[in-house]
Every structure is written in C-alpha cells, then in structure tokens.
Amino acid sequence: MQYSAVARLPPVYPIRINIYYTNVGPIPAKGAIFAGDAGASDKGLKESDLDVIFAGLKYKLKDAESRNLDYEVQPGDHIFYTLQSSTITQPIADELNGGKGLLYTFALMEYKDENTPPGKFRVTEVCLIGPPKGADHFCANHNRVFLSD
C-alpha cells in the first residue's frame, strides 16, 4: 500500500486529517489497520522524537483487538483513514491557525498479502511536516514501506 495524499478537514479544531493510500501492488492487501496522530512544534522535531512517536503508533497496532484478514483492498483501489490529534489543544490550534509553528502528520498502516511471511506484516509509514496553511512535505525519515513483526 502506498501513501497517495493527505487532506486536512475543517474545522481547525480538533485537528483532523485524512490519509489516503492506494494499493499499487498486483495482489490484494489484507487486514489493513491504521494508527495515526498529528503534532505541532515551534522549531521542528528531532529524529529521536519521531522515533518515539512511531514506536508509540506501532504499539497501538500491536494492541489492535481484532484484525479482519478477510477485508481486502484490491489492486488499484484507494482507501483512507481519518486521524485526530491527541496532543494539539485549542490554544495550539489557534497558534497554528495564526501561522505559527509546524504541523506534523504521523501515520502507520499494517497489512498482509499472500506473499507476507508468517508472523510478519507489511508496514507503510508516513511522516509529513508543513506550515499550518501551506503544502506539506515529507520528513527526512519515516516515509517507507517495510516488513515488520
């Protein structure tokens, strides 16, 4: 599954963001589950901060009570998940709306396909950073697809 787009949803608070994915592979993706969040920073987050955030998202997926492996995303199909920030308060949202700081979007999706080894999952990570009222761009790291436990 490949990240394909992001859209911020009004109103400005609470911060809600749609993350769009496309199955660009030749076979169905099965049992997709998602964890995501958004954050704000005045100066930018360090790589070590991002590592902690993504470890927390991975932990949320490990705690997923049910995974419907019968649910498939067919090749060429699109899906999206909506995330809502757990850390951006109304005052922070007001500052972002006033053009101060940077808005981060963090997303992690796990899924399987018929070629995924037993006990493993395919993972798509997305990390975006941008001004509150401008175009997002990718963080230096955490934009990848990989095999994980």
pLDDT tens string 51-86: 999 999 999 888 666 677 788 999 999 999 999 998
The answer to whether residue 144 scores a pLDDT higher than 90 is yes
Could you list the residue range(s) of the whole structural domain that residue 67 is in?
2-148
Number of domains composing the chain = 1
CATH at residue 50: 2.60.40.10
Q: Are 99 and 132 within 8 A, CB to CB?
A: yes
Task: Residue 114: count other Cβ atoms within 10 Å of its Cβ.
Answer: 8
Please write the tens of the pLDDT for every residue from 91-126.
999 999 888 999 999 999 999 999 999 989 999 999
> What whole-number distance in Å separates Cα of residue 6 and Cα of residue 47?
22
* Residue 30: predicted pLDDT: 94
The answer to whether residue 34 scores a pLDDT higher than 80 is yes
The answer to whether residue 10 scores a pLDDT higher than 90 is no
* Residue 75: predicted pLDDT: 97
Q: How far is C-alpha 51 from the chain's CA centre?
A: 14
Question: In the structure encoding, which two tokens stand for residue 11, read together?
Answer: 């109103």
> What whole-number distance in Å separates Cα of residue 17 and Cα of residue 38?
8
> What whole-number distance in Å separates Cα of residue 51 and Cα of residue 87?
17
The answer to whether residue 90 scores a pLDDT higher than 80 is yes
State mean pLDDT over 36-54. 94
Question: 3-class DSSP state for residue 96?
Answer: helix
* Residue 133: predicted pLDDT: 75
* Residue 9: predicted pLDDT: 87
* Residue 66: predicted pLDDT: 66
